[in-house]
Amino acid sequence: MEVSNYWYFLSGLTLLSALMVVLSKNPIHSVLYLVFTFFCISGHYVLLNAQFLMAVNIIVYAGAIMVLFLFVIMMFDLKKNIPDSKTNLTKLAGTVVAGSVLVILVAAFRTIQYPTPDESTFNPNNGMVENLGKVLYSEYLLPFELVTVLFFVAMVGSVMLGKREVGDRNF
């Protein structure tokens, strides 16, 4: 079987599950479809021979962030929130925003014209952990370290917000 067939299959699945995220009425179903979308995207990473990205995508998005999403949504009383939580105005605004983002993305991709790599000089191990690590710690060291500082600030901030002060109630 040709690799491109896998690609068509995966892309179709990705689009379908991404659509279902938007279309399903139950927020829990939406979150689960979103998790499935992440899996499809991980499949794309495998096709691009970027296994590290695939694993990290699953660990970080499917394994941690979406669990927290699910966690929060499960706390809601869904029956109370379902009808009429979206007015026509919000629906209209959402459509306009999403449509303009789509137009911008399509235009951007059309102008960039990402070049197809040359088969003779292309290194198939580009996406492997070793190469990624070397690039991150040599060429992009400063942005990488800045991102860690950003994460650290976010962590300290959340600890500060979550901390109970003397005299506060327990919950």
Partner 1 sequence: MEPTNTLFMAKAVIILVVFAITLGVAAYSTYFERKIAAFMQDRVGPDRAGPFGILQPLADAVKMFMKEDFIPSHANKWLFIMGPCLSMLTALMTSAVIPFGDTVTVAGVTFDLQGIDVNIGILWVFGIVSLGVYGILIGGWASNNKYALLGGIRAASQNISYELAMGLSIIAILMFSGSLSTKTIVEAQQNGHWNIFYQPLGFIIFIVCAFAECNRTPFDLPECETELIGGYHTEYSSMKLGFYLFAEYINMFISGAVMATLFFGGYDYPGYEFVANKLGETPAAFIGAGALIGKALFFVFVFMWVRWTLPRFRYDQLMNLGWTGLIPLSIYNVLVTGIGILSGQPIIAGIAGFVLLILGLIIYDQLTVKKKIA
For binding to partner 1 (CB under 8 A), which residues are involved? 26, 28, 32, 35, 51-52, 54-56, 58-59, 62-64, 67-68, 70-71, 74-75, 128-129
Tell me the closest approach of the beta carbon of residue 49 to partner 1, in angstroms. Answer: 11
Nearer to partner 1, 14 or 36 (CB): 36
Tell me the closest approach of the beta carbon of residue 112 to partner 1, in angstroms. Answer: 29
Q: For the purposes of burial, counting CB atoms within 10 Å of the CB of 70, is it exposed (0-12), middle (13-18) or buried (19 or more)? A: middle
Instruction: List Cβ neighbours of 117 (8 Å cut-off, separation of 6 or more).
Output: none
DSSP state of 128: S
| C-beta separation of 66 from 31 below 8 A | yes
| C-beta separation of 38 from 57 below 8 A | yes
Tabulate helix, strand, coil % of the chain (nearest 5): 75, 0, 25
Nearer to partner 1, 20 or 32 (CB): 32
- Exposure on the CB side of residue 29, measured as CA atoms within 13 A: 9
Nearer to partner 1, 5 or 170 (CB): 170
Tell me the closest approach of the beta carbon of residue 110 to partner 1, in angstroms. Answer: 34
Tell me the closest approach of the beta carbon of residue 29 to partner 1, in angstroms. Answer: 8
Nearer to partner 1, 20 or 28 (CB): 28
